[in-house]
Structure 1
């Protein structure tokens, strides 16, 4: 009997190989000798998606030219292997065809299932004569891998997940291949140049950012007035706010309110009406889902959602953290038990001497029913040595410590404090003051204040006063302004995508969104944001997402089709896709509705775009281009424009001069660009050495072809 274990990528295959008693590396696979597999066993791997959907031109000649003969509806969907992956695919194909048992051991999620079964089918290794099994694990530690292979699921249990993911893949392909050329060509008729792509999740996400930006741009600040009090007691004073709080349109309204209640602006006598003191307690933060970790990392470290996912994925592959693409903040009793067994090791690594007091699972963290596929991101049983930890990159260290502290905090005391509330009476008005005194830091000893403090916990310490005590209070009128909503950053847009139900009016769609956790998935949301950047629809500016003029004109073009812009479309699509994964729906029915939707767009979009007023776009685009001019082209005297990751000539395609935006990974500054364009040498500072944290300063210049080359080192 021959068994083949199909991993998603080489690093995953290597982790499996290291968990077995004896393996031997071959070209594109490993041979295995282990008590778990008494028969001939090999581990092979893909490079992620070895197999992709074919291009329209591979189906029919009439679809070779972009945007002609729409709609593109193939009879049968074809898959292909890229030329640079054909060698590995042949190795995988030969092994799978000979195998009697195939173990799907790709990532434990729907996309991993899609990758595996697509390879198996394209390799013509899908047969009733073969046995199929599924590995489903949350950690790449040796113990977790061996336990997973000892308790394999059936292949049949995994197949619906593949059908769901493949249906999503085909539907997205249909939308992209039909609507992207449709919008591109119709916009070109309005003299809007460039290529425009439409996506099932991509477009409503862009529209969310666009709508928020419009709200901010159109926001009219309105002044208002509030009453603030300063209570004065012997040798001390403290702030007090009107209770209940009230805003006044004018200062005259405020003064009138004071007079009606026997109070006035300025200093006057008052009485302490009540002093209430209560002991309160706060549990440690929830464990991390991927979305929550991406939001926190963006807030603390200003890194993108993609960089957070890449970092936590690398820590998973290093066997230090559990599986990253999870949508839940809960763990099961199994994880709680192993974490409790290793808590002293974790605390020693963090240098924490606080007692372990929370030794029983609490529902805030441990809930077996809330863990469907993967539990929250927590520590593995391994604790890195000091030497190993120091070899991690700076951002790996920061993300690891954030997860480690949040995991360990679950076992420490609550943060306990005494909260005092004072009501001060002035005439018929009450003014409230709140403050707190911590008496047990508990889990907070793990965190710096910015990592865990809320506005509530910033309340000041109040002086001792007694009920009935006479005091003086100084009342003042404070003028303030209403504030616009905050722009999205990569952390907040991830959460907005996850909770998109809040933006939907339709109750049925809202319920679906709540059930499926919004638009996109934990695995895809970061990539959606990256796609919007690559398409130059948005860019990040001071950690805020800004819609470009190209993005704005696309949003204006699609807003006539609400199913393309609202979360409602995604809710209904995802609801049915989920049914396919539960064997309650079919791929055929779903794709039939997608085709109807595409036909509707083909019929109505031309009229939408014909009515589009692009005068503002043309003016704004011109201003945007002028802002991106960094100098003159050394070849043709055209303008050199700043692109996403490089600099190019405004006379393209007649002039193809380009200049890289970095040298060996170090971003070039404005002075560097000016000097290079004028033919001078320039110094790039703090270039990172390969495989080291050390840096050096390099003197560089451009050669005849415009490439940056090193002249030498400099101090």
Structure 2
């Protein structure tokens, strides 16, 4: 009997329903010659250091690095019941169909169970990108060989083990160093979370150290036969400009205004060209998170949770954890069915139907751009909008608009560029006149600070002008402005920075390599990384902005470049892609990681930590900083040099001990 191993109960129910396996069993559904069982995400987790050697219960620099030779997994305490059901079912199965999420982490969830249980029977792979009946039936008719996705497992295993090596060793190393200087807490270090933290720390430092610099603009209003228009001075002398092309010479600006106020301008360049804009691509998860943040202020994790609900609960959209914004050309055949389902789900879209050209093949249909998954689009099945929450409807609406835009005309406008010569200087203006709204009808304008700032440079509605026309100056003004600091990260812009990490790498060789990678983390993990940094006190939310805390800033200052540099982490991700592609073995990847962690531990041994000092006391025996501990009789201050020094001080009223009495240190586990 075939056993289908799913990632979660909802996935199992959907697949079982199509298979006809509707009989409930212990941790499974049976019927029609199949058994469908499920995990709850990861049922297994990497064993802690003390599982390899009890000596590792003690956190100490001399015990590092910890590098397992025979990696161990442990069953999560909350998962033992379901895991035992699966282990029993594996003994009964004639073959296994891996039916977890179709991506690297889904492969790991299934295969770590099979390996742990010692399953050696036939394995195949169900690769499904949408949890509706037509998509499941299509995938069931094209089940893949198990070997076709084995390298996904190896890449995921490499990621998991590399994360463990960095997290366990570096967290212990820098926590011990900080505690020796009186810091009371754990300093979590991670292969991906630490470079992400650095992005925010660097941005916050740039903002804090920013010194505004003045610049000047000269804006003229000119009279033409067709009406009045404005144009801005564009200095020809580079010595007047900064690197961004702004005039930094006030005297030159005011001198021009003084001599040209009553002057006569002449149009020396006038060119109008028809411009066309293709519709935006459909979403991957990162761009959906960015748009959800920009339009609605949703957090990255919130968007992921909503996208997952649209996929699993409402069956309204396809697989969300994708890094691809394109669609297979074969899916163009399903377009009519998708649009029909959209119209059935929401009758308010009906007036749009006659404007859609279902034969249009936009740039989104491109087989060469497809990765493990295609972009996020509506499914071929109608959905019930009334069952969705407002945030779910908002994101679903974004997804469907980006899909429908593929079948609408391009946005077209005429752009007119004008150069007016005045007193030997050039004044430039740009005008835009929309000719075809096209797909832009689907996207109402969002007002934001960024939009407000861009209005200054936006195109105006120019009057009718002619080449060589004389345009008297109506007014000429000098505007004093200042440069502005970069904006703090939001969750959406931080997700974008994590994905497009090459922008932040100064090394040109690394930058070129990074442009071909997926950046820091994956579509599935970035939101969780941000949440982790917030929970651990390294980042904090300020309205829509993300800011680093003093602890986060000083941790980044103490860590080696290899751990904090975004470019280095992205190269690790590139190596994992090499494993997935079969160009690098898992063993070779791990040998690199083991050599690296040894080097990082050696570096840590020479670091002096400088973290925010928490309220502390000096040891009554040796004078070293003390830190709070918990003992059998309550909290107390213990010397940071324990076990070399056993000085302690009681905290609060304690009937069993008097305050400030010296006593042997309590039994502890650091």
TM-score grouping bracket, smaller chain normalisation? 0.7 to 0.9
Relative distance call for 1:277 and 1:523 in structure 2 (3 A) is: same
Q: Pick which of 342-351 and 48-57 moved more.
A: 342-351
Relative distance call for 1:586 and 1:468 in structure 2 (3 A) is: closer
Local SS of the residue matching 2:381: coil
Relative distance call for 1:321 and 1:458 in structure 2 (3 A) is: farther
Task: Using CA pairs under 8 Å that are at least 6 residues apart, name the structure with larger relative contact order, 1 or 2.
Answer: 2
Distance 2:438 2:615 in 1: 54
Distance 2:21 2:103 in 1: 28
Distance 1:469 1:235 in 2: 11
**1:446 and 2:437 correspond:** no
Query: Does the CA-based 8 Å contact 2:212-2:484 persist in structure 1?
Result: yes
Aligned residue in 1 for 2:44 = 51
**1:173 and 2:164 correspond:** yes
Superposition pairs of residues 8-47 of structure 1, within 5 angstroms: 8-21=7-20, 23-33=22-32, 40-47=33-40
Aligned residue in 1 for 2:113 = 119
Aligned residue in 1 for 2:188 = 197
Q: Pick which of 235-244 and 207-216 moved more.
A: 235-244
Query: Does the CA-based 8 Å contact 2:19-2:34 persist in structure 1?
Result: no
Distance 2:572 2:606 in 1: 26
Aligned residue in 1 for 2:423 = 427
**1:101 and 2:99 correspond:** no
Local SS of the residue matching 1:423: strand
Aligned residue in 1 for 2:666 = none
Distance 1:243 1:53 in 2: 62
How high is the TM-score relative to the length of structure 2? 0.85
Local SS of the residue matching 2:80: helix
Query: Does the CA-based 8 Å contact 1:265-1:476 persist in structure 2?
Result: no
Query: Does the CA-based 8 Å contact 2:5-2:96 persist in structure 1?
Result: yes
Query: Does the CA-based 8 Å contact 2:431-2:461 persist in structure 1?
Result: yes
Aligned residue in 2 for 1:400 = 396
Shift of 1:508: 4.7
Q: Which one of the candidate residues 311, 319, 324 is aligned to 1:323?
A: 319
Distance 1:516 1:620 in 2: 44
- Superposed CA deviations along residues 663-704 of structure 1, whole A, max 9, x for unmatched, are xxxxxxxxxxxxxxxxxxxxxxxxxxxxxxxxxxxxxxxxxx
Q: Which one of the candidate residues 139, 150, 154 is aligned to 1:159?
A: 150
Query: Does the CA-based 8 Å contact 1:255-1:265 persist in structure 2?
Result: no
Relative distance call for 1:523 and 1:426 in structure 2 (3 A) is: same
Q: Pick which of 595-604 and 91-100 moved more.
A: 595-604
Aligned residue in 1 for 2:406 = 410
**1:549 and 2:550 correspond:** yes
Distance 1:471 1:511 in 2: 48
Local SS of the residue matching 1:351: helix
Query: Does the CA-based 8 Å contact 1:436-1:461 persist in structure 2?
Result: yes
**1:224 and 2:224 correspond:** no
Distance 1:502 1:337 in 2: 38
- Superposed CA deviations along residues 227-258 of structure 1, whole A, max 9, x for unmatched, are 111123479432211246853323212244x3
Q: Which one of the candidate residues 66, 76, 81 is aligned to 2:75?
A: 81
Superposition pairs of residues 466-485 of structure 1, within 5 angstroms: 466-473=466-473, 474-485=475-486
Shift of 1:85: 1.0
- Superposed CA deviations along residues 78-134 of structure 1, whole A, max 9, x for unmatched, are 111122211111111110122111000000001000000001111222x1xx21100
**1:569 and 2:568 correspond:** yes
Number of aligned residues: 602
Shift of 1:360: 4.1
**1:280 and 2:275 correspond:** yes
**1:338 and 2:334 correspond:** yes
Query: Does the CA-based 8 Å contact 2:520-2:569 persist in structure 1?
Result: yes
Q: Which one of the candidate residues 308, 311, 333 is aligned to 2:306?
A: 311
Local SS of the residue matching 1:449: coil
Local SS of the residue matching 1:31: strand
Shift of 1:351: 2.2
Local SS of the residue matching 2:259: coil
Superposition pairs of residues 604-619 of structure 1, within 5 angstroms: 604-609=603-608, 612-614=609-611, 617-618=612-613
Query: Does the CA-based 8 Å contact 1:272-1:422 persist in structure 2?
Result: yes
**1:239 and 2:230 correspond:** yes
Q: Pick which of 203-212 and 579-588 moved more.
A: 579-588
Query: Does the CA-based 8 Å contact 2:155-2:577 persist in structure 1?
Result: yes
Aligned residue in 1 for 2:134 = 143
Distance 2:518 2:123 in 1: 31
Distance 1:362 1:653 in 2: 72
How high is the TM-score relative to the length of structure 1? 0.80
Q: Pick which of 306-315 and 465-474 moved more.
A: 465-474
Query: Does the CA-based 8 Å contact 1:277-1:420 persist in structure 2?
Result: yes
Structure 2: unaligned runs, 5 residues or longer: 237-244, 617-649, 654-670
Local SS of the residue matching 2:416: strand
Structure 1: unaligned runs, 5 residues or longer: 34-39, 622-651, 656-715
Distance 1:97 1:22 in 2: 19
Local SS of the residue matching 2:605: helix
- Superposed CA deviations along residues 454-488 of structure 1, whole A, max 9, x for unmatched, are 85995221222333433322221111111222211
Query: Does the CA-based 8 Å contact 1:270-1:425 persist in structure 2?
Result: yes
Relative distance call for 1:195 and 1:613 in structure 2 (3 A) is: closer
